[in-house]
Amino acid sequence: MKGKREQLLSELRSKGITDERILQAFLQIPRHFFLDKAFGDWAYKDVAFPIDADQTISQPYTVAVQTSLLEVKKGDKILEIGTGSGFQACVLAFLGAKVYTIERQESLYHKTSKLLQDIGFGHVRTLFGDGYQGAPRFAPFDKILVTAGATDIPVNLLEQLAPGGIMVIPVGDEYVQDMLQVFKKADGTVETKSHGEFRFVPFLPGTSNQDVKNTTKKSGNSNSDQNTGNKIMLE
């Protein structure tokens, strides 16, 4: 298994990931636990992969990019929107952050909460709810990471970001999003930097319990080629 992980590391290095702490996370965290057993072979390839509830585990390269843009420091309090498989949350925890992560799909929330307990990441705090609301009970956060494609920067999340904090959020339409690094200055003003195009599953309002109302509206797109965390290859 180590051979495959080393291979993934050299692939990430060749794509420009240089932070050794992040590379160590990919070496140490058993990514095959985050995919269904039958697909374990895919765990160390640099691709996004389907998980439960029509969602995906992000491509390793995307996880590495989002993590480096967060500029994680030991002890940072980080809110992640979109727990999904839980892998990204573990990378942040591996770097010494205190992680809160929210998932809107109830089944995924239960499955991933249990997995994190089982593999020694029980200190990651999993929450079931609508990420648009953030987690006001635990705010402010030093960093906020959104792992679903948003159409704009949610005001609630900006409010829950501490002055001096960083939010990383892909913003665009349903097909392609721009990876934004949002800096909230000490005086509360905001500056954004753009880091290229990615494609994520959509940042949806509400929780899965409310989806019956939404399915008719959304079903036209739900099986489209939205493929979480796949960097769009322009070449």
Minimum distance from residue 145 beta carbon to ligand SAH (Å)? 8
> Per CB under 6 A, does 169 bind ligand SAH?
no
Residue 154 Cβ vs ligand SAH, minimum distance, rounded to whole Å? 9
Residues numbered 197 to 226 that lie near ligand SAH (CB under 6 A) are 201, 203-204
Among this protein's residues, is 219 annotated catalytic?
Answer: no
Whole-number Å distance between alpha carbons of 149 and 21: 26
Tell me: does residue 154 bind ligand SAH (CB under 6 A): no
Cα–Cα distance measured from residue 63 to residue 39, given in angstroms and rounded to the nearest whole number: 19
Say if CB 181 and CB 175 are below 8 A apart: no
Tokens 């039958």, residue located: 38
Max CA distance (Å), the chain: 51
148: contact with ligand SAH by CB under 6 A: yes
Piece of the chain touching ligand SAH by CB under 6 A; list 4-12, 51-59, 162-170, 191-199: 51-59
Structure-token match 């932070």, residue found: 19
Count the Cβ atoms, other than its own, within 10 Å of residue 178.
Answer: 15
**Which chain residues interact with ligand SAH by CB under 6 A?**
55-58, 81-82, 84-85, 87-88, 102-105, 108, 130-132, 147-148, 201, 203-204, 228
Task: Tell me the catalytic residues.
Answer: 58
